[in-house]
Amino acid sequence: MRSNTLKTLLLGAAFVGAGAVAASAGTLDEVKAKGFVQCGVNGAGLAGFGAPDDAGNWTGLDVDACRAVAAAVFGDPSKVKFTGLSAKERFTALQSKEIDMLARNSTNTMSRDTQLGITFTGTNYYDGQGFMVKKALGVSSAKDLNGASVCVQSGTTTELNLADYFKSNGMTFNAVVFEKQEEADAAYDAGRCDAYTTDASGLYSIRLKMTNPDDSIVLPEIISKEPLGPAVRQGDDQWESIVRWTHYAMLIAEEFGVTQANVDEMKKSENPEVQRLLGVGEGVDFGTPIGLNKDWAYNVIKGVGNYGESFERNVGEGSPLKIARGLNALWSKGGLQYAPPIR
Amino acid sequence: MTLRDKTADETPRSWLRAVLYDATIRGWVFQGLVLLFIILFALWVIHNTAANLRAANIPFGFDFLNMRAGFDISQKPIDYTLDSSHAQAFKVGLLNTIIVSVLGIILATIIGFIVGISRLSSNWLLARAATVYVETLRNIPLLLQLLFWYKAVLSVLPGPRQGLMLPFSINLSNRGLTMPRPIVGEGFGLVMWALLVAVVAAWALARWARRRQAATGQSFPVIRASLGIVIGLPLVVFLILGAPLTFELPELKGFNFVGGMVVHPELTAMLLGISLYTATFIAETVRAGILAVSSGQSEAAFSLGLRPSQTMRLIVVPQAMRVIIPPLTSQYLNLTKNSSLALAIGYPDLVAVFAGSTLNITGHAIEVIAITMAVYLALSLITAALMNWFNARVALVER
């Protein structure tokens, strides 16, 4: 059997052999005891979200989500270890406690949120599913794809959306399903399929990996809602709050112009919102109630920057992907990223 | 209960002693204790798993099999739509596994026997070529070979519009080998019955020819005659009925061929990889089996005037089979299990469909993996049972 199946099996075996433990056991205490956050990220390497760079350091929007949590807990964004996971392994790895949090461009859906024993803590990237085709086919819309062969990765919401889209438009298709993203990429590149489908953000990153990136175009249609976000195990409210509010802290920092560079200066700010965020002032302490220090959010900004900085660095203008903010702009700028206030 | 010294001493104390020291009773007691221990262990594992899953808020059960699957499978031997259940997806995956295993076993056996015999050939070139083939392919991991074949198959073949047109509307492209699909008309069942009758007749003929040869020494061209019966009889019936068979021709519409039958490149790559790999092991088994037959046997056959091909077919191979079959069974089992590597190249076998898509969509990892393991165990046990039956038939009967 393939190593992946074996891995799933071993993860399953963890449920069989492990002594019965209460699910509410404090993940934060365990993380503090071992001294690092174990974070599940994209094992195949999805540029912009989770992939090792030339020097072997993990970078990406999801990787930053992990580092931010490490910074909130330890005051040090480097106290994190990464586990590369396939789409198939990711939820089992979280359920079986192999990882403390999952940040692997995973779509939040009702069944995943309610039936898998996991909870999504927010949305760090609003995505949608799209198609990429070879230019030579002369196709300009997804509606022209009737009868096409489509390469897709198994075990993803993508696989299901694809079927729904063709069915609701009265079109037929032939899915060629691969377990790993690399294998699906290679098959599309070799001409096995007419079209390739995954989240739009992924399409741009995968197109760059093709032998001739210019031979492929991304079609304009977005056929689904794909809110990607980190997830934790169900039943540990404290840990869930930490991961959720770490993301909010990054959004609030962007909203009030707090950046990695000026965060020390901003500690002197008179703005009460900024003071509450950075834990400045007498009796201003939002960290202790969730088991952290009062300057937890300061550490997050100092360690990885605000959401906007992380976005631009990984997937925006500062990256090869050059994705526009679009839905991921702050609510005040016409996007969907909105954080409840710290107070 | 055997109380041997009951008559010697009637006191209750010595009765107890007798029970304690009785080998039979003691045996049963310990066997019982071990069995009890195993049962308790199994119960503990089940209970503990259930408790852990409950504690982690993960539902357990097999109801998910009736839920709508909602994903597509590229190779569907039976009816399967997006609205089918996960149970139906499971059947499709299982059938695909069986298809690739059975075809793989047949191909690997044919190639293996040819190569194994070739390695012993007196033709230098043939023997060396077979050696090179065996030593190369059996020493490269199967997964790499599958990826190689998939890549090779895809990169050699042109796109569907530039596909290679072969006779009878057969088209070869990187979307697969597209062929006309036979559609049986009314009365075609009679042709199948004719085929059955012909097979039985051919079997009876072979039996009669063997008896006659044993009795009189006269040989009969059994193979040619059987072929004639098996092909001829159904053909005659078919023509009398007015050829009740039409073909649905594949048509190039839009991106791909519509209609007809198609052999996907994933299946082709799987069959190439898995049968060429397993055939190397079978070839070695065959060579070992033939070498195990004493050379005196062939010498005796030659001195009786049999030709080399006859010697091989009538004297050596039947004796070699006794040595060949047990390890051959292992190779068949390996091949079936190795077919689970299919998920690497997108062939929709049981592991890819059921332990892949279904597992991820439903999240029932433990149930899905348990079912999958049970299926592979069952397939292997069935294969082993069939081969053991065959082995018992060809085993040497001592007289």
Chain segment A71-82, per-residue pLDDT in tens: 999 999 999 999
Cβ B346–A178 below 8 Å, yes or no? yes
Q: Are residues A257 and A210 in the same domain?
A: no
- With 80 as the cut, is the pLDDT of residue B97 above it? yes
Q: Give counts: helices (H), strands (E), chain A.
A: 13, 14
Residue A89's pLDDT is 85
Average pLDDT, chain A: 88
Q: What is the tens place of the pLDDT at every residue in B293-331?
A: 988 998 999 999 988 888 888 888 888 888 899 899 999
- With 90 as the cut, is the pLDDT of residue A319 above it? no
Cβ B345–A1 below 8 Å, yes or no? no
Q: What is the pTM of this model?
A: 0.77
CATH number, domain B86-143+267-394: 1.10.3720.10
* Candidates B254, B345, B360; nearest CB to A87: B360
Q: Are residues A206 and A63 in the same domain?
A: no
A15: in domain: no
Residues 89-148 of A with CB under 8 A from B: 91-92, 95, 111-112, 115-117, 137, 145-148
Domain edge (last residue) among A226, A255, A278:
A226
* Overall average pLDDT of the A81-106 stretch: 90
Cβ B357–A177 below 8 Å, yes or no? yes
B334 touches chain A (CB under 8 A): no
Q: Are residues A196 and A54 in the same domain?
A: no
Residues A109, A158: contact at Cβ < 8 Å? Answer: no
Query: What whole-number percentage of chain A has pLDDT above 90?
Result: 54
Residue A24's pLDDT is 47
- At A123 the three-state DSSP class reads coil
B155 touches chain A (CB under 8 A): yes
Residue A117's pLDDT is 87
Cβ A2–B341 below 8 Å, yes or no? yes
- Which of residues B262 and B104 earns the better pLDDT score? B104
Contacts for B365 with CB less than 8 Å, ≥ 6 apart: A8, A11, A12, A92, B359
Residue A2's pLDDT is 42
A318: in domain: yes
- Which of residues B237 and B302 earns the better pLDDT score? B302
Question: Given pLDDT bands bounded at 50, 70 and 90, which one contains residue B397?
Answer: low
β-bridge pairing A37-42 and A80-85: parallel
Domain edge (last residue) among A191, A226, A261:
A226
Cβ A20–B361 below 8 Å, yes or no? no
* Candidates B345, B363, B366; nearest CB to A15: B366
Residues A93, A12: contact at Cβ < 8 Å? Answer: no
Residue A68's pLDDT is 96
Please count the structural domains in chain A.
2
Query: What whole-number percentage of chain B has pLDDT above 90?
Result: 36
- With 50 as the cut, is the pLDDT of residue A9 above it? yes
Q: Between the CA of residue A187 and those of A141, A211, B151, B208, B261, what are the distances in Å?
A: 22, 12, 8, 55, 22
β-bridge pairing A58-59 and A101-102: unpaired
Q: Are residues A244 and A104 in the same domain?
A: yes
A6: in domain: no
* Overall average pLDDT of the A222-227 stretch: 91
Quick one: which of A55, A24, A215, A208 has its CA closest to A119? A24
Question: Given pLDDT bands bounded at 50, 70 and 90, which one contains residue B9?
Answer: low
Residue A10's pLDDT is 55
* Overall average pLDDT of the B280-292 stretch: 94
A16 touches chain B (CB under 8 A): yes
Q: Are residues A160 and A308 in the same domain?
A: no
Q: What is the tens place of the pLDDT at every residue in A33-59?
A: 999 999 999 887 788 899 888 888 999
Q: Are residues A239 and A296 in the same domain?
A: yes
Question: Given pLDDT bands bounded at 50, 70 and 90, which one contains residue B10?
Answer: low
Q: How far off is chain A from B124, nearest CA to CA, in Å?
A: 39
**Closest-CA residue of chain A to B53:** A15
Residue A20's pLDDT is 46
Tell me, what CATH number does A35's domain have? Answer: 3.40.190.10
**Closest-CA residue of chain B to A111:** B362
Cβ B151–A192 below 8 Å, yes or no? no
Residues 130-149 of B with CB under 8 A from A: 143
A68: in domain: yes
A258: in domain: yes
- With 60 as the cut, is the pLDDT of residue B81 above it? yes
* Overall average pLDDT of the B204-213 stretch: 87
Cβ B71–A20 below 8 Å, yes or no? no
* Overall average pLDDT of the A103-114 stretch: 91
Residue A123's pLDDT is 95
Query: What whole-number percentage of chain A has pLDDT above 70?
Result: 93
Domain that holds residue A95: 27-126+229-327
Residues 52-91 of B with CB under 8 A from A: 52-53, 55-59, 70-74, 82
